[in-house]
Amino acid sequence: MATFLYRLGRFAFRRRHFVALFWVALLALAGAGAAGAPAAGNSSFSIPGTEAQKAFDLLEERFPGSSADGATARVVFKAPDGQKMTDAGNKATVQDTVDALAGGSEVARVTDPYQGGGVSQDGGIAYASVTYEVSGMELEETSREALETAAQDARDAGLTVEIGGDALQAVPETGTAEIIGIGIAAIVLVITLGSLLAAGLPLLTAIVGVGIGVASITALASTLDLGSTTSILASMIGLAVGIDYALFVVSRYRAELAEGREREEAAGRAVGTAGSAVVFAGLTVVIALVGLSVVNIPMLTKMGIAAAATVAIAVLIALTLIPALLGYAGRRVRPAGEKSKLLGGGRGGEQKAQRPNMGTRWASFVVRRPLAVLLLGVVGLGAAAIPAASLELGLPDDGSQPTSTTQRRGYDLLSEGFGPGFNGPLVVVVDAKDSDDPQAVFEQAGEEIKGLDNVVDVAPAQPNKAGDTATITVIPDAKPSSVTTEDLVHDIRDAGAGIKADTDAEVLVTGATAMNIDVSQKLNDALVPYLVLVVGLAFLLLIVVFRSILVPLKAALGFLLSVLAALGAVVAVYQWGWLSGLMGVEETGPIMSMMPIFMVGVVFGLAMDYEVFLVTRIREAYVHGEKPRQAVVTGFRYSARVVTAAAVIMMAVFAGFIGSSDSMVRMIGFGLAVAVLFDAFVVRMAIVPAVLALLGTKAWWLPKWLDRALPNVDVEGESLSAHGDPKDEDKELVRV
Q: Residue 49: its pLDDT value, please?
A: 80
Which of 603, 589, 528 is CA-nearest to residue 561? 603
235/490 Cα distance (integer angstroms): 38
Q: What is the DSSP letter of 461?
A: P
Q: Residue 134: its pLDDT value, please?
A: 77
Q: Residue 732: its pLDDT value, please?
A: 43
CB 571 within 8 A of CB 391: yes
Q: Residue 730: its pLDDT value, please?
A: 45
Backbone phi, psi, residue 452, to 5°: -80, 155
CB 74 within 8 A of CB 206: no
pLDDT tens digit sequence for 58-95: 888 888 766 556 778 889 999 999 899 999 999 999 99
CB 705 within 8 A of CB 676: no
Return the exposure string of 286-319: e unless at least 16 CB atoms fall within 10 Å of the residue's CB, then b. bbbbbbbbbbebbbbbbbbbbbbbbbbbbbbbbb
User: 351: number of CA atoms within 13 Å, CB side?
Assistant: 3
CB 426 within 8 A of CB 602: no
**Quick count: other Cβ atoms within 10 Å of Cβ 376?**
15
Q: Which helix (H) or strand (E) holds 107?
A: strand 107-110
Q: Residue 490: its pLDDT value, please?
A: 93
Taken in order 112, 115, 121, 122, the sign of the CA dihedral is: positive
**Segments of the chain scoring below 70 in pLDDT:** 38-46, 65-69, 135-138, 169-178, 222, 225, 227-229, 337-355, 396, 584, 586, 660-662, 714-719, 721-736
Q: Residue 632: its pLDDT value, please?
A: 92
Residue 73's beta-bridge partner residues?
130
Which of 569, 222, 133, 267 is CA-nearest to residue 561? 569
CB 18 within 8 A of CB 326: no
**Cα 543 to Cα 532, 550, 553, 700, distances in angstroms:** 16, 9, 9, 10
In 133-221, DSSP assigns E strands to 160-164
Q: Residue 68: its pLDDT value, please?
A: 58
158/138 Cα distance (integer angstroms): 33
Q: Residue 67: its pLDDT value, please?
A: 56
Q: Residue 315: its pLDDT value, please?
A: 94
Q: Residue 728: its pLDDT value, please?
A: 44
Which of 678, 690, 661 is CA-nearest to residue 172? 661
**pTM of full prediction above 0.85:** no
Q: What is the DSSP letter of 44?
A: P
In 450-588, DSSP assigns E strands to 455-458, 462-463, 469-476, 506-510
190/188 Cα distance (integer angstroms): 5
Q: Residue 57: its pLDDT value, please?
A: 86
